[in-house]
Amino acid sequence: MSLLNEGKLGVWALAPLIIGLTGLCILPFFLRAYLVEVVMMYFIYIILAQSYRLIVTVHDWQLYHIVIYGVGAYASGMLAKDFGIPVFVAIPLGGAIASLMGVAITLPLLRTKGWGFYIATYGLAELIRLSWLKFRNPFGGSTGIINIPYPPVIEGIDFSDRIPYYFFSLTVMLIVMYMLYRIEKSRIGDTFKAISMDPELAASTGINISRNRLLACAIGSFFAGIAGGLLVHRLGAVDPKLFNIVTMLYLLIWVVVGGTDTFWGPVIGVTVMHTLFELSRPLIEVRPAFFGLSMVLVLIFMPGGIGNLISKVFVRLQGPRGMSTAEIE
């Protein structure tokens, strides 16, 4: 089994994972404060991209996922600030509210297909975002909400500090990744994969397509909401401009460039593209065009994404060891 394909983890998969986790654990002690914040954003974006990939497995390339991310941020922030709910409780509650919102948006669109579906999801997303901009009470209007509580001090550890929050967000990311991996390897994941490969054939075997699309949406939206909660309690504020169509396009680029065929595709997409994003800050005026071109080139020359390409390399490396392609995949 390769690192990028799902199956029993072997030495080839465990070695990079162990090295990577060890590196992530020692990294914040050697980085400048700003770079630690940047790495935390990687963790949040990886959760967001992985949650979107789950929904994509049932071929729902919708355009509202970034707003669901925002729903989790607003909900968690408001629960902590206005109702005094502890941050560590507000974050999963925000995820649950985001999940309900995702289902509420998807439900009336189940019979919509093609461009009509994309336009409708974008329209509903904008409706939600414009409500945040319009209503100062309770959403803060165009300036958003400030003075959102930071995590508390527990056993002498102040989670509002940079290093503790780094390890908190890293832990949440790893838990989410594990849960999504287990879902993908479960009967639910097999059902999603069957729908992705051939919806009509899946329906003919008795699989309820609509119900499973809603289930994927509910799960993916929950984890997107978790990502939003992690964001807002680090920033101490929430701004509706963080969840616009440009950010949605960046999410699409992460997932497309990394690829959806492998579980680790979104991780690769976020790592590569967000690194380029940070390095290209001096070229801010041309950055959107560069990222759009990157996605087009990947679609043309690597339609499965970078993750799929790396997966094939692992297949070649492990082939001589007697492992069949079926075993690896």
pLDDT in tens, 35-93: 999 999 999 999 999 999 999 988 778 899 999 999 999 999 999 999 999 999 999 99
Cis peptide before 138 (omega within 30 of 0): yes
pLDDT in tens, 231-281: 999 999 999 999 998 899 899 999 988 988 889 899 999 999 888 888 877
Overall average pLDDT of the 286-295 stretch: 74
Residue ranges per structural domain of the chain: 40-243, 246-315
φ/ψ (deg, to 5) at 156: 80, 0
- With tokens 């999801």, the residue in question is 121
pLDDT in tens, 301-324: 777 778 777 776 666 666 655 444
> Virtual CA dihedral for 282, 163, 78, 82, nearest 10 degrees?
-130
Nearest to 177 by CA among 277, 53, 269: 53
The whole-angstrom separation of Cα 126 and Cα 130 is 6
Structure tokens at 64: 């509202």
pLDDT in tens, 47-58: 999 999 999 988
Q: What pLDDT does 328 receive?
A: 39
The whole-angstrom separation of Cα 212 and Cα 55 is 10
pLDDT in tens, 6-27: 444 455 567 777 888 889 999 9
Computed from CA positions of residues 129, 133, 136, 142, in that sequence, does the dihedral angle turn out positive or negative? positive
For helices 187-197 and 162-185, angle between their N-to-C axes, nearest 10 degrees: 70
DSSP codes, 87-135? HHHHHHHHHHHHHHHHHHHHGGGTT--HHHHHHHHHHHHHHHHHHHHH-
- In 135-279, which ranges are continuous DSSP H helix? 136-139, 162-185, 187-197, 199-204, 209-235, 245-258, 265-279
